């Protein structure tokens, strides 16, 4: 008999989580103005709002923290991080930052001007925010197949090379500071980008003389999918795949809170010294001196260890199969989600579940609230709230998909938790016909409103 997949670690420390009653949750949800971000974490039973910074560090990472060098300049921890980045990614220069969006802020400050065009695959919301804040435009060149949640294809996060070439050829080179490839493609459902696609993007970048940036938050999960799904990569190690992928790019921004399995941290890494030097001024202004950026020495040490642990096959196999396990449970109940299951999350197809809620009343948000009220499970909306208003017209943008993301933190929950989550979703689906109204906005910020938005029931 083939042995089943099993976690490649055992549990050394636990944290108690508390159940609550539906009445309690109704009161808390109202007090939180129907924004799941406004709940206190104690009011949440299983927290799937993000896989970012919510991961369990290993004994090795904790012990590395004890050896952190907190020197302002030239800390050992900086050099340890530098070595790990060079080893895992091949990039020789880097700037530490406190997280991914800070890496974007530093790099984009040195590269983006007003009126610029930045093509890519489903720019993440902070990425888009940092582009639009600089009065530049993010042009989404994701393949159209990503919008069909039922379609089962191996690399649904890919860039559409025709759309990309059209964008590159219709603007002067000076207006396009770089192309961005997000691995995995978070917004499209944690879907991977194939090496073939990366090579195609790199060839176009070269043809038009434009640089290539990897938004690398989940680069190791992407490499796992390349190894397990793409021809020619089965016998390559995850690290070989990562180094090959990064060899096609000029720089990377990293939110280490995901695939480096830490609670805080990030960096920008560069191939060219001149690019690195150009960004240094912004790193010092926004983050800190070059050898710590926004990080403490202990955090840089944990990150360095995490980059190695996060690129071990056995760990990734456990990780991604747990997400697939939740997907299989949902399949048993016939619940629609972005197929195939993503690397870090399941994205429920809210439009297919809540057919009677109008889009103006925020379908995915409504599903998120219902699942929380049902079970204490907290997901996050990837729909019209996240899409913000068009910065020029001020009109609400309604994306093709209304998704409710259930992001699974790394090394945190067991498959019993996955069973509970699936049952909670099923109960909401079973009574979905009676859910006919959603929410309306009572307060919002102009950019990235979903974090702080306040809502009230539409009826």
Q: CA separation (Å) from 14 to 293, 313, 378?
A: 31, 25, 20
How many angstroms separate the first and last alpha carbons of the chain?
56
Q: How far apart are CA 175 and CA 210, in angstroms?
A: 10
53, 101, 127: which is closest to 344 by C-alpha? 53
Question: Which tokens sit at 105?
Answer: 């802020």
192 touches ligand F0G by CB under 6 A: no
Grouping H, G, I as helix, E, B as strand and the rest as coil, residue 46 is strand
The answer to whether 254 and 84 are in contact (CB under 8 A) is no
182 touches ligand F0G by CB under 6 A: yes
266 touches ligand F0G by CB under 6 A: yes
Among the listed residues 124, 178, 214, 270, the single catalytic one is: 124
Among the listed residues 98, 130, 137, 450, the single catalytic one is: 450
157 touches ligand F0G by CB under 6 A: no
Among the listed residues 98, 258, 344, 351, the single catalytic one is: 258
Among the listed residues 202, 217, 304, 424, the single catalytic one is: 217
Question: From the list 257, 271, 410, 417, which residue makes contact with ligand F0G (rule: CB under 6 A)?
Answer: 257
Question: From the list 35, 186, 311, 432, which residue makes contact with ligand F0G (rule: CB under 6 A)?
Answer: 186
CA 97 to chain centre: 17
Q: How far apart are CA 318 and CA 403, in angstroms?
A: 25
Q: Say whether 166 is catalytic.
A: no
262 touches ligand F0G by CB under 6 A: no
Question: From the list 43, 121, 255, 311, which residue makes contact with ligand F0G (rule: CB under 6 A)?
Answer: 255
55 touches ligand F0G by CB under 6 A: no
Q: What share of the chain is helix, strand, coil (3-state, %, to 5)?
A: 45, 15, 40
Q: Say whether 258 is catalytic.
A: yes
130 vs 417, beta carbon nearer ligand F0G = 130
Angle (nearest 5°) at CA 49 between 43 and 55: 100
Residue 184: asked if its preceding bond is cis (omega within 30°), the reply is yes
Cα dihedral angle (374, 379, 382, 384), rounded to 10 degrees? 40
- Rounded to a whole number of angstroms, the minimum distance from the CB of residue 386 to ligand F0G is 10
Number of residues forming the site for ligand F0G (CB under 6 A): 15
Single out the segment in contact with ligand F0G by CB under 6 A; choices: 120-128, 131-139, 157-165, 219-227: 120-128
347 vs 435, beta carbon nearer ligand F0G = 347
Among the listed residues 69, 116, 125, 250, the single catalytic one is: 125
215 touches ligand F0G by CB under 6 A: yes
Q: Say whether 124 is catalytic.
A: yes
211 vs 450, beta carbon nearer ligand F0G = 450
- Rounded to a whole number of angstroms, the minimum distance from the CB of residue 399 to ligand F0G is 16
Q: Say whether 215 is catalytic.
A: yes
Q: How far apart are CA 336 and CA 398, in angstroms?
A: 20
Residues 60-119 that bind ligand F0G (CB under 6 A): 99-101
Helices 297-309/76-89 angle, 10° precision: 20
Single out the segment in contact with ligand F0G by CB under 6 A; choices: 113-121, 123-131, 360-368, 370-378: 123-131
Grouping H, G, I as helix, E, B as strand and the rest as coil, residue 43 is helix
Q: Say whether 79 is catalytic.
A: no
127 vs 149, beta carbon nearer ligand F0G = 127
Q: How far apart are CA 362 and CA 386, in angstroms?
A: 10
Question: From the list 25, 32, 35, 50, which residue makes contact with ligand F0G (rule: CB under 6 A)?
Answer: 50
The secondary structure of residue 144, as a DSSP letter, is G
Q: How far apart are CA 99 and CA 295, in angstroms?
A: 9
**Which residue carries 């793409």 as its tokens?**
230
Binding region for ligand F0G (CB under 6 A): 50, 52, 99-101, 124, 126-127, 182, 186, 215, 217, 255, 257, 266
Query: Annotated active-site positions, please?
Result: 72, 124-125, 215, 217, 258, 450
């Amino acid at each position: 008999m083939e042995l089943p997949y099993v976690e490649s670690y055992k549990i050394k420390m636990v944290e108690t989580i508390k159940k609550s009653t539906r009445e309690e949750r109704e009161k808390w949800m109202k007090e939180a103005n129907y924004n799941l971000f406004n709940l206190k974490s104690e009011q949440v039973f299983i927290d799937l709002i993000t896989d970012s910074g919510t991961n369990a560090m290993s004994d090795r990472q904790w012990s590395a923290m004890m050896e952190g060098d907190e020197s302002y300049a030239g800390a050992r921890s900086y050099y340890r991080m530098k070595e790990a980045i060079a080893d895992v990614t091949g990039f020789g220069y880097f700037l530490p930052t406190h997280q991914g969006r800070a890496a974007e802020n530093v790099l984009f400050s040195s590269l983006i001007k007003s009126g610029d065009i930045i093509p890519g695959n489903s720019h993440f919301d902070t990425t888009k925010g940092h582009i639009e804040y600089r009065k530049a435009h993010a042009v989404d060149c994701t393949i159209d197949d990503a919008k069909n949640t039922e379609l089962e294809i191996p690399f649904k996060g890919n860039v559409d090379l025709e759309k990309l070439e059209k964008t590159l050829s219709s603007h002067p080179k000076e207006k396009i500071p770089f192309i961005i490839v997000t691995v995995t493609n978070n917004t499209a459902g944690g879907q991977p980008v194939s090496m073939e696609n990366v090579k195609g993007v790199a060839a176009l970048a070269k043809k038009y003389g434009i640089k290539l940036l990897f938004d690398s938050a989940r680069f190791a999960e992407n490499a796992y999918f390349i190894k397990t799904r793409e021809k020619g990569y089965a016998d390559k190690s995850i690290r070989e795949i990562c180094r090959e992928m990064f060899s096609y790019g000029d720089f990377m921004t990293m939110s280490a809170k995901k695939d480096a399995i830490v609670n805080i941290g990030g960096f920008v890494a560069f191939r060219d010294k001149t690019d690195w030097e150009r960004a240094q001024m912004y790193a010092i202004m926004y983050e800190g001196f070059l050898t710590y950026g926004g990080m403490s020495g202990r955090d840089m040490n944990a990150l360095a260890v995490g980059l190695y642990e996060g690129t071990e096959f056995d760990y990734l196999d456990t990780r991604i199969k747990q997400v697939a396990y939740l997907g299989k449970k949902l399949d048993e109940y016939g619940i629609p989600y972005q197929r195939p299951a993503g690397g870090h999350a399941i994205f429920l197809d809210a439009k297919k579940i809540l057919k009677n809620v109008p889009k103006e009343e925020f379908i995915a948000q409504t599903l998120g609230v219902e699942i929380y009220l049902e079970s204490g499970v907290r997901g996050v909306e990837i729909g019209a709230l996240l899409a913000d208003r068009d910065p020029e017209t001020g009109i609400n943008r309604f994306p093709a998909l209304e998704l409710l993301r259930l992001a699974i933190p790394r090394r945190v929950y067991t498959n019993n938790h996955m069973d509970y989550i699936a049952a909670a979703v099923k109960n909401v689906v079973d009574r979905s016909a009676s859910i006919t109204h959603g929410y309306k906005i009572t307060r919002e910020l102009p950019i990235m409103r979903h974090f702080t938005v306040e809502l009230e029931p539409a009826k």
